Structure 1
């Protein structure tokens, strides 16, 4: 059985003294090809060249690590045998990330791996193998989220048939939902389950994962105190964030400290109805970034989002986002930057 998630991304905020992970993208993390190209663009900028001459830097791209991670699972865990496996990037084709799919395809083909981009509804299944645009596929690089698949599953019969046949390697598999949902942090931070963790793991959770619970009528503990969850969250909104259990891009997130009483009540009502999670607010550190507006440069206090890409036990590359607002997601107004590492501190 292959691991739950061949590629994942841990989304974290910088705090005044450390960092806190607020969720994990375990299904199909976006961004590696964008970052790969951004780093190349930065290196060509005259001002960056001048900086790098004075302060040598290195860059760790997540794109080659993504390819390596996919190939490792295909060969060592799925036991695939193709020397140069053929890839298919599968999603809907009307999504904004279609541009990244083209960058990934171009990169794979430069490395000698054939690749197709295809809508999940256009796949064929022949003798258990997936075919995309008439080509037999060894590795299906799934960018279609499970929740999106369920919205159109009746039109994706070949997609499901190939998944069940297990001749084409699906990465990631549907099993990634077990680690992708934000509720996994509720499991990690709930004292009822922490006995399964080692002392080192408990310490890591305490230091780097905020208190999280499924939002439901229940009794639990917060900072050691017994509480009625819903009423405590309602009365102390400045300490909490309510977010969907399975969504992305900052969609549906309500920040208690920025919400009115009526907005918070509505967030609780919606969360109880739809199975959202409630998470303790993270004290986010802000760094001044120069922003040019109306021809003038000014310093804008910005949050910094550092999101390492994970490939099994290995890390390879980081998505970095900055935002002058309280959400760092690109779809919520944040901006993506490549993170360079100084060779000499």
Structure 2
């Protein structure tokens, strides 16, 4: 951690619960919901139509952007920026640890047979070129990371475009407030994502990019793909969407169906499905051998995106790999996480515990998650789960890769939920997009559900800076 980063963290040690601008928006929405809700829904519908007309969607469904923004101040922006950028540096350390630390490798049993692919690290840094760090602001005022999303996160282009469209709609909730979405790089210039892909290729190869492919598998996870392909073409590259099976490994390198060499691939797929598929072997091997520049590399797709990576960062066993400032940073900004298995470890206060007993006795303060699932699959929040179901999941978790994580209570916000046509309190979080090691922008999701995901009826709040 650089001195600048460390001093920045000290200067903004905690953040207020809510900005003054956001408090004003909250009051206005509550007032208008009572006296003039029709006008609010009319403006919300105008925004939703503009979003749809721009071609934005979530896997064929409406892209659920809310009229009500989350307004954050410069102090919180700085707090989030420093936190996110330091986390990316720590993931570089964790990636290098994985290559030689057998105790760490043991936390990722699902990938044991893939270790020869995963441990082939690229020379460029940061290893994670594109990611979205999901987090919540804890009761202590510190932003805490609860998931890393270092594979191929959604929203890398659409969220910046959505913010710009939102800013162009006359909005009774923000009238008279000086809010700005363009202080986020990906909202000011939605092409910054593609520029990062091109820049990473140049750094890795020393050449200008000529050919690229956005890669998926069996037709899944195609959201935003058209935007990415078009962006690469506008950057001067010959680009296409290709299925893994359409590419072949040759002595010249990875080639597409037309026989032309592919120089860069961006992975938009579920690596869990690929790992056991024989037809993916050529592609897996070519990327691992760095015969093509692959963003993000396999260490990011499997290990660094697995929820157990937070157990690596937050477990005392691995602290010898970090300096004192980094250890202090991790304690503040990484949610306490452990792989669920019998044995002795330390709790969030660093007291020695037997983990399974601790999970049984502290249900209200814990969350159980499959270590490598997506979109909130099978996540259990202890305080919202019956004791019987919790016990069943402890037994299941001890047999399969699950993690247990401290419960970070989300803050609440009043928002419009377009599909249910309701205005209610919802839980929300703030996610940080990081491109090339630098903060690119924010996403805020809100939901009635304890697990915030737009695939589970969640919504997106535009993030504006006051």
Identify the TM-score tier after normalising by the shorter chain. Answer: 0.7 to 0.9
Q: Are 1:12 and 2:138 matched, yes or no?
A: no
2:274 aligned to which of 138, 149, 152: 149
Name the residue aligned to 1:126. 250
Q: Does the residue aligned with 1:325 lie in a helix, a strand or coil?
A: coil
1:319 aligned to which of 425, 443, 451: 443
CA RMSD of aligned residues (A): 2.4
The answer as to whether partners of 1:89 and 1:142 remain within 8 angstroms in 2 is yes
Which string of whole-angstrom CA distances, capped at 9 and with x for unpartnered residues, describes residues 23-43 of structure 1? 111122221122133124313
Which string of whole-angstrom CA distances, capped at 9 and with x for unpartnered residues, describes residues 154-191 of structure 1? 01233134325533211111122332221121122222
Which string of whole-angstrom CA distances, capped at 9 and with x for unpartnered residues, describes residues 50-77 of structure 1? 947752513225443322332232222x
2:239 aligned to which of 112, 115, 126: 115
Q: Does the residue aligned with 2:191 lie in a helix, a strand or coil?
A: helix
Shift of 1:216: 0.3
Q: Are 1:240 and 2:355 matched, yes or no?
A: no
Distance 1:158 1:120, change over 3 A: same
Distance 1:292 1:136, change over 3 A: closer
The answer as to whether partners of 1:116 and 1:133 remain within 8 angstroms in 2 is no
Name the residue aligned to 1:332. 456
Structure 2, gaps ≥5 residues long: 1-122
Q: Distance in 2 between matches of 1:211 and 1:292?
A: 34
Name the residue aligned to 2:229. 105
Name the residue aligned to 2:346. 221
Name the residue aligned to 1:272. 398
Higher strand proportion: 1
Q: Does the residue aligned with 2:316 lie in a helix, a strand or coil?
A: coil
Name the residue aligned to 1:74. 201
Name the residue aligned to 1:92. 217
The answer as to whether partners of 1:14 and 1:303 remain within 8 angstroms in 2 is no
Aligned residues: 335
TM-score normalized with structure 2 length: 0.66
Q: Distance in 1 between matches of 2:222 and 2:196?
A: 21
The answer as to whether partners of 2:212 and 2:240 remain within 8 angstroms in 1 is yes
Which string of whole-angstrom CA distances, capped at 9 and with x for unpartnered residues, describes residues 277-323 of structure 1? 1111112211222446776x53x222222111223431211222111
Q: Are 1:2 and 2:121 matched, yes or no?
A: no
The answer as to whether partners of 1:128 and 1:166 remain within 8 angstroms in 2 is no
TM-score normalized with structure 1 length: 0.88
Distance 1:93 1:104, change over 3 A: farther
Q: Does the residue aligned with 2:429 lie in a helix, a strand or coil?
A: strand
Higher helix proportion: 2
The answer as to whether partners of 2:379 and 2:451 remain within 8 angstroms in 1 is no
